[in-house]
Structure 1
Amino acid sequence: MEWIKSLRLSIDYMEKHLLESVGPEEVADAVFMSPFYFQKGFKIITGYSIGEYIRYRRLYMAALDVISGDEKIIDLAYKYGYDTPESFTKAFSRFHGVSPKQMKGDTKKIKIFLPLKISVSVRGGNDMDYVVEKLDAMKVIGYEKNFLYETGYQEIPKFWNEFCHNCTDGKNNEQVQKVIEECMIGEFGICIEDDSKQKEFLYMIAGRYNGGSVPEGMKIFEIPAFEWAKFKCTGPMPGALQSVNTQIFKEWLPGNPDYEIAAGMNIEMYSNGDCSSYDYESEIWIPVKKKQQHK
């Protein structure tokens, strides 16, 4: 249950530092977790990104201050981390549906957003369709791009659409298209924690690198040797993949007595075929290591 305990501790940390300049990387560090998996798991379990949670909590607290009428708008803006009264008022109005001035006259308009209580039902985690397999280091080749944790999972599909359109619309030159086909670029979607950019992670559309020239715009990355928990997904994309991802974080990680995450990385493996078909097969690979058994 270390995973769930860490999430609960993270909420306590955010509450204690709500008026300070804290972001996802500081919160993850405070609970000794990988920012990559911490933010991904937090979003899956709570439905909010770290940034959204902190922002919504601040705007709720700001509304309580507005109702009390003790502070000016400019003071509230700076207190809750906004650069100007205008940006604060805009965010406040978007969240509560009324401006700070309007709320003073109608306190029923306040949108309540209390601290989250993490509660996960641990069931069936070890009955998921997965295997643990040790793989040697593997080189991949493909296109990479950095994404913000806050918006990455909305932006990545656009990255894939651009890649697919270039392949199908004849925009790639002969050399590029040859490498894409020979290395099966598009077989993998790889998320990689970027230690140098704590607010971002690296994403690759990739395939196995078999040697040879590397076309301009492509990159090579070596995936270290790990044991991988490989989860099978069956069904149309992206629903099947998202469903299994949710199970991993809500059931498998909290309830698994043997394994824990080994590195800030995960791989999505895509097969050939119609990805909208009910029997389309894909996989999620997560690097894992055996938990230390405490005597």
Structure 2
Amino acid sequence: MRGGRIVNYHEVSVEAITLVGECVHYETASEARRSIQSYWQDFKARGKAEALESYRNQQIDGFVGVLIPKPNDRLDYMIAVSSDQDPVEFETRKLPAGRYLIFEAEGPLPFKLREVMDAIHHDFLPKSSYNLREAPIMEHYPSGDTQSADYLSEIWIPVE
């Protein structure tokens, strides 16, 4: 994204992906938006990121943040990795098979990712012919320096 415009996205069809991780519950989307960054910091400080990484397969490189919509504007947020295992200390969920638009966000976290997410919801989707599918939205954080100006994260939006 450059100057408020989305410039890099593509469409993919994927099979279901098994994710393992830790989930928190938020009463509102605005509460989640305010709290997710501190949740990541706490998750790492508790040593959970290292523990979780040991279960990662290579289907998706790095970590993902999964926004799982719930009734009445509530949502769950899961820090996860793709995995073939079902560890006792973490939850297991499936990212449903289907079509996703994958948007690139180049720049340091969390600022660039938020900017792209806002552009997707307020500019791109309302003007596009895509219809959202009822499924989680996924943030993909590949391995690398997340504070680098050229760090490339992704947002996966489920579409019909």
For Structure 1 versus Structure 2, the TM-score category normalised by the shorter chain is 0.7 to 0.9
| Partners of 1:264 and 1:179 in 2: CA distance | 23
Task: Give the 3-state SS of the residue equivalent to 2:84 in structure 1.
Answer: coil
| Partners of 1:186 and 1:147 in 2: CA distance | 24
Q: Counterpart of 2:124?
A: 252
Task: Give the 3-state SS of the residue equivalent to 2:143 in structure 1.
Answer: coil
Instruction: With the length of structure 2 as denominator, give the TM-score of the two structures.
Output: 0.85
What whole-Å deviation, never above 9, does each CA across 1:102-139 have from its counterpart, x for those lacking one? xxxxxxxxxxxxxxxxxxxxxx97x6210000000111
Tell whether the 8 Å contact from 1:140 to 1:207 is kept in structure 2 after alignment: yes
Tell whether the 8 Å contact from 2:96 to 2:135 is kept in structure 1 after alignment: no
Could you tell me which runs of 5 or more consecutive residues in structure 1 were left unpaired when the two chains were aligned: 1-123, 290-295
| Partners of 1:200 and 1:270 in 2: CA distance | 23
| Partners of 2:41 and 2:52 in 1: CA distance | 19
Does the alignment pair 1:200 with 2:80? no
The one-letter code matched in structure 2 to 1:219 is E
Larger Cα Rg: Structure 1 or Structure 2? 1
Task: Give the 3-state SS of the residue equivalent to 2:46 in structure 1.
Answer: helix
What whole-Å deviation, never above 9, does each CA across 1:204-257 have from its counterpart, x for those lacking one? 00001212x5133x1000121110000011011111111111221222112113
Which is helix-richer, 1 or 2? 1
Correspondent of 1:234 among 91, 94, 106: 106
Does the alignment pair 1:148 with 2:20? no
Q: Counterpart of 2:153?
A: 282
- State the percentage of identical aligned residues: 27
| Partners of 1:262 and 1:241 in 2: CA distance | 21
Displacement over 3 Å in runs of 4+ = 176-179
Change (3 A) 1:261 1:199: closer
- RCO greater where, 1 or 2, for CA within 8 Å and sep 6 or more? 2
- After superposition, residues 17-28 of structure 1 pair within 5 angstroms as none
Tell me the matched-pair count.
Answer: 153
Task: Give the 3-state SS of the residue equivalent to 2:54 in structure 1.
Answer: helix
Task: Give the 3-state SS of the residue equivalent to 2:80 in structure 1.
Answer: strand
Q: Which moved more, 1:244-253 or 1:183-192?
A: 183-192
Correspondent of 1:189 among 57, 65, 69: 65
Tell whether the 8 Å contact from 1:186 to 1:205 is kept in structure 2 after alignment: no
| Partners of 2:52 and 2:65 in 1: CA distance | 17
The one-letter code matched in structure 2 to 1:159 is Y
Does the alignment pair 1:180 with 2:60? no
Tell whether the 8 Å contact from 1:268 to 1:283 is kept in structure 2 after alignment: yes
| Partners of 2:50 and 2:121 in 1: CA distance | 37
The one-letter code matched in structure 1 to 2:92 is I
Instruction: With the length of structure 1 as denominator, give the TM-score of the two structures.
Output: 0.48
Tell whether the 8 Å contact from 1:232 to 1:281 is kept in structure 2 after alignment: yes
Does the alignment pair 1:214 with 2:93? no
Correspondent of 2:38 among 146, 155, 158: 158
Correspondent of 1:137 among 16, 20, 37: 16
Tell whether the 8 Å contact from 1:186 to 1:206 is kept in structure 2 after alignment: no
Correspondent of 1:267 among 135, 138, 141: 138
The one-letter code matched in structure 1 to 2:133 is A
Task: Give the 3-state SS of the residue equivalent to 2:149 in structure 1.
Answer: coil
Could you tell me which runs of 5 or more consecutive residues in structure 2 were left unpaired when the two chains were aligned: none
